[in-house]
Structures are given as C-alpha cells and as structure tokens.
C-alpha cells in the first residue's frame, strides 16, 4: 500500500486560525479532506501577542479539520506573516567538475546562493527559486544532465525576525503540533490563486487580511517582490469603533453594512454608544470619511512597496486580491481607477474534495500553504536542511 501524501496546513491569521488537511498531488492539485476556521484573539497585525489564547484557537481549528478528514496529523506546515518579513536576493555559481549538471550541483549552487548575510536577530524562513543559468544562459528550467562548465543559481531568501518566528513555533507546539515547515503567508496566498500564465506575464497579488496586507509581485514566472503592510480590515473596524464611539462588534457590523470606498452616500444611521444605552444618530458620510482616511493610508503603503518594482507598462495580468479585507465595497474599482490596472478578486484554484469553503478568498493562505508543502518538501527531524533543499529542487523539476 502506498502512503498518501497528507498534509496539515495552518494559517494563524489576525482574526481567524484556519486549518486544512489535504492531499497535495504532484501536479499541484490539492484534494481537501478537512477544513476549519476558528476566530482568534491574541494576534495583532499577523503577530502572536497572547500565546494561550492563540494556541487554543489553533487547537480548535486543527481538531475540527483533522476530525473531518479522519486523520490525526500533528506535523504542520505553518504560514508566517507580519511586516517583519523581508526578501534578500542571493546569487552564486558553481564550477561543474564532471562537465554535466547533477542534482547535487543544483543543490550546491542553491545553497551557495542562499548564503546571504543576515543581520542579527533575523533568520531564513524560506528560499524561493528565481532562476538558473548554465554557462551564462539564463532561464534554464531543468539543467540536470546538461553539458556545461558552470551553473549559477538566483534565489530570494525570505527572512523574518527570530523572536516572532520563535513565538509562532511556540503557540503551534502549545497546540500539540510541530511546525515542520514554514511558508511566508503572502507567497502561499499567491500560489493558491494565481495561474502560471499570470505569473509569467506579470501580476500583483494583495492578500488583504484583518491586520496585514501581503504584497507579492510575479513576472517571468518567478517572484519578484514580497512585502507586508501592517494594515488590514481590522484597522478600519478599530477606527470606526474609536471614531464613532461604538464597541468593536458594532463597528464591525457597521463596516460590513455601510463601509464603502469611493462612494458618496447620504442619510443617517443610529448607533448605540459605548457607554450606557444612549443611541446616537450619525451621518453615513462621517463613517465613510473614517473608512476613506484609513484606505488612503493603506493604499499609500501598498504603493510604497509597488514602487520598488520597475514596470515598463504595469502588470499585464493586473492585480489579484484575496483575504477578507479585499471584500470591502468599492475597493476593487477604487484601485482600478487609481492605478489604471485591472483588479479582480482571486479564489483558490486547483482544488478537489471539500473545496467549497476553501475556495473563498479568506482561505487562500491555508490552501497555498498546503500546496507549497509539496514543492518545498516537509522536513523531518532527521533530515538536514540541505537534503530538504535537494528535495525541493527535485520536486520543482518532476
Ligand atoms: N464583506 C466584507 N467587507 C469588508 N470587510 C470584510 C468583509 N468580510 C470580511 N471582511 C474583513 O476581513 C478581515 C479578515 O480577513 P482575513 O480572514 O483574510 O484575515 P486574517 O487572515 O485573519 O488576518 P491577517 O491575514 O491580516 O493576519 C476582517 O477585518 C473582516 O472585517
Ligand atoms: Mg490572512
């Protein structure tokens, strides 16, 4: 009997923890066997602030996903998020002694390219392939077996703050799991929803969550940029709560019902004040202005990330948004007219099994984490990091 390649993916988001048990196929398809989400308190802007409460939410979501799937998985692939994530470009070449490229040469070149010098307190989260060159010819997809003297590898090393990563591992282990592999959340989300041809021609992906917005840019089939803005839908909710003097739950309800970008609305609404039972009447316009101010700040920060990319004509495949915050009314058309690029909502693709729930934009990260686990190879305790890199490269080519 062959063992099924089951994977447990966990995304500890700012507003919810999602867990997914799936079977990641070699062709990139993902069969979903169990999926669940639990609301979480104790996270801020993608980072863990209250370990006990976060661990409880993880335990709950994972238990439900495991029981749906009839599994008891404890080795988890976990998304890492937060504006501490950064990318470093690495490049290195190796001389090919045998005259042909072997998988070990690829591994050697990759390992060398990934040896970027990190400042104190930072560590590598993931190494992402950008390209390979054989005797100076760039863009070689599968160089194994090619005759050559020299092979060069280009990588992006996604790095994060060690303290933040330690705390994430800690809550995962308090929930009875082992974080066997970490995947940057913005990358996972993009991998869940973007088609290969979009990554080829050029695309911007935004995962607009509760406390963060992941920004990734792809061109030529590879990642060109990854960054995180520490603002999401929750920021609008808390602004409304403070600005209108209402409790968070009411602010959230008002946001879902009335908040819209780029829309002028007349009329008033009645809200219950935080203190006491008094009812206040406020113009809808006041609510819209609070929303607009935060969206303005948000879009400015997103643009400061996008300005680090050199565009000839903008992303040919436009902008794809995921995450619950992307559902804010009017946001899509607001961005379209501001940037002049097509903007669409993305949903996870290539799913089978219990795919209905996991197809919604808020599940893109957990789906992508499950799918990426196959590509990056799960690390077991006895395996070295270099063996894992070989597996990663072999998986990319097979
Ligand atoms: N219809 C909607 N309109 C506006 N906002 C919405 C809508 N639905 C959900 N949201 C917002 O989406 C946010 C949650 O999104 P999501 O589940 O992607 O976040 P998360 O993964 O928990 O957070 P993060 O990725 O930032 O850590 C909340 O702020 C919520 O208010
Ligand atoms: Mg999220």
- For residue 229, which ligand has an atom nearest its CA? 1
For residue 360, pLDDT beyond 90: no
Q: Do both 157 and 226 map to the same domain? A: no
The residues near 7 (Cβ < 8 Å, ≥ 6 apart) are 21, 22, 23, 24, 73, 77, 370, 373, 374, 378
Ligand 1: atom nearest CA of 322 is 18
For residue 389, pLDDT beyond 70: no
Q: How confident is the model at residue 396 (pLDDT cuts 50, 70, 90)?
A: low
Taking CA atoms only, the protein residue closest to ligand 1 atom 13 is: 210
Q: What is the pLDDT of residues 229-255, one digit of tens each?
A: 999 999 999 999 999 999 999 999 999
Q: Where does ligand 1 bind, in terms of residues with CB under 6 Å? A: 13-16, 46, 81, 209-212, 232-234, 237, 252, 255-256, 323-325, 327-328, 362
The residues near 313 (Cβ < 8 Å, ≥ 6 apart) are none
Q: In a mutational test of the pocket of ligand 1, which residue from 232, 261, 321, 346 has the highest number of ligand atoms less than 8 Å from its CB?
A: 232
Higher pLDDT, residue 393 or 35: 35
Q: How confident is the model at residue 383 (pLDDT cuts 50, 70, 90)?
A: very low
43 and 14 Cβ atoms separated by less than 8 Å: yes
Amino acid 284: pLDDT = 93
What is d(CA 300, CA 211) in angstroms, rounded to the nearest whole number?
16
Ligand 1: atom nearest CA of 255 is 4
Average pLDDT of the segment spanning 203-225: 96
Q: Provide the domain count of the chain.
A: 2
- Written as one string, the DSSP assignment of 286-355 is HHHHHHHHHHHHHHHHHHHHHTTS--SS--TT-EEEESGGGGSBTHHHHHHHHH-S-EEE----SEEESH
Percent of the chain with pLDDT over 70: 92
Taking CA atoms only, the protein residue closest to ligand 1 atom 15 is: 324
- For residue 360, which ligand has an atom nearest its CA? 1
The residues near 347 (Cβ < 8 Å, ≥ 6 apart) are 193, 322, 359, 360, 361, 364
Ligand 1: atom nearest CA of 15 is 22
The residues near 65 (Cβ < 8 Å, ≥ 6 apart) are 8, 19, 20, 21, 34, 35, 36
Domain contains 351: no
Domain contains 289: yes
Burial of residue 356 (number of CB atoms within 10 Å: 0-12, 13-18, 19+): exposed
Domain coverage including residue 145: 86-161
Q: Do both 121 and 249 map to the same domain? A: no
Which of 42-51, 126-135, 388-397 is predicted with the least confidence, judged by mean pLDDT?
A: 388-397
> What residues have a C-beta under 5 A from ligand 2, the ion?
13, 209, 365
Ligand 1 centre to CA of 115 (Å) is 36
Q: Do both 114 and 208 map to the same domain? A: no
Domain contains 246: yes
Residues present in the chain in total: 398
Strands 203-208 and 319-322: parallel
Ligand 2 centre to CA of 103 (Å) is 35
Domain contains 201: yes
Which of 16-25, 177-186, 387-396 is predicted with the least confidence, judged by mean pLDDT?
A: 387-396
Taking CA atoms only, the protein residue closest to ligand 1 atom 12 is: 324
Amino acid 129: pLDDT = 82
Taking CA atoms only, the protein residue closest to ligand 1 atom 21 is: 13
Domain contains 73: no
Q: How confident is the model at residue 392 (pLDDT cuts 50, 70, 90)?
A: low
Q: Do both 262 and 309 map to the same domain? A: yes
- Dihedral sign, CA of 302, 305, 309, 310? positive
- Written as one string, the DSSP assignment of 339-366 is H-S-EEE----SEEESHHHHTSGGGHHH
Q: Do both 130 and 230 map to the same domain? A: no
Q: Do both 273 and 338 map to the same domain? A: yes
What is d(CA 101, CA 87) in angstroms, rounded to the nearest whole number?
28
Ligand 1: atom nearest CA of 236 is 29
258 and 283 Cβ atoms separated by less than 8 Å: no
Output the domain CATH number for residue 115.
3.30.1490.110
Ligand 2 centre to CA of 178 (Å) is 20
Q: Do both 207 and 338 map to the same domain? A: yes
Q: What is the pLDDT of residues 97-109, one digit of tens each?
A: 899 999 899 889 9
Average pLDDT of the segment spanning 185-194: 97
């Amino acid at each position: 009997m062959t063992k099924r390649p089951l994977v447990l993916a966990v995304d500890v988001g700012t507003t919810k923890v999602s867990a997914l048990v799936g079977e990641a196929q070699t062709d990139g398809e993902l069969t979903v066997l169990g999926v669940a989400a639990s609301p979480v308190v104790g996270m801020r802007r993608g980072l863990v602030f209250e370990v006990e409460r976060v661990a409880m939410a993880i335990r709950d979501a994972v238990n439900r996903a495991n029981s749906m799937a009839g599994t008891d998985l404890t080795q988890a692939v976990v998304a890492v998020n937060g504006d501490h994530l950064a990318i470093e470009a690495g490049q290195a070449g190796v001389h090919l002694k045998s005259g042909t490229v072997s998988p070990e040469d690829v591994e050697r070149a990759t390992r060398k390219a990934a040896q970027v010098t990190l400042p104190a307190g930072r560590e590598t989260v993931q190494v992402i392939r950008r390209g390979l060159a054989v005797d100076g010819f760039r863009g070689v997809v599968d160089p194994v077996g090619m005759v050559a003297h020299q092979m060069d590898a280009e990588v992006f090393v996604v790095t994060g703050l060690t303290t933040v990563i330690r705390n994430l591992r800690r809550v995962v282990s308090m929930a009875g799991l082992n974080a066997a592999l970490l995947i940057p959340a913005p990358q996972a989300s993009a991998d869940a929803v973007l088609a290969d041809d979009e990554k080829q021609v050029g695309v911007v992906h935004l995962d607009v969550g509760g406390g963060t917005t992941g920004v990734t840019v792809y061109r030529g089939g590879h990642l060109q940029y990854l960054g995180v803005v520490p603002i999401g839908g929750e920021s609008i909710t808390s602004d409304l709560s403070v600005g209108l003097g209402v409790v968070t739950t009411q602010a959230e309800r008002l946001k879902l019902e009335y908040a819209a970008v780029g829309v002028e609305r007349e009329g008033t609404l009645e809200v219950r004040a935080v203190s006491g039972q008094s009812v206040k009447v406020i113009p809808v316009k006041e609510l819209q202005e609070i929303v607009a101010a935060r969206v303005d700040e948000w879009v400015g920060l997103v643009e400061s990330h996008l300005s680090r990319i050199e565009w000839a004509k903008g992303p040919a495949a436009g902008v794809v948004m995921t995450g619950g915050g992307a559902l804010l009314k009017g946001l899509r058309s607001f961005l379209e007219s501001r940037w002049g690029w097509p903007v669409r909502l993305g949903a996870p693709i290539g799913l089978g099994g219990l795919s209905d729930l996991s197809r919604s934009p808020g599940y893109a990260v957990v789906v992508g984490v499950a799918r990426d686990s196959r590509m990056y190879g799960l690390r077991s305790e006895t395996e070295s990091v270099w063996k894992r890199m070989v597996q990663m490269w072999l998986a990319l080519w097979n």
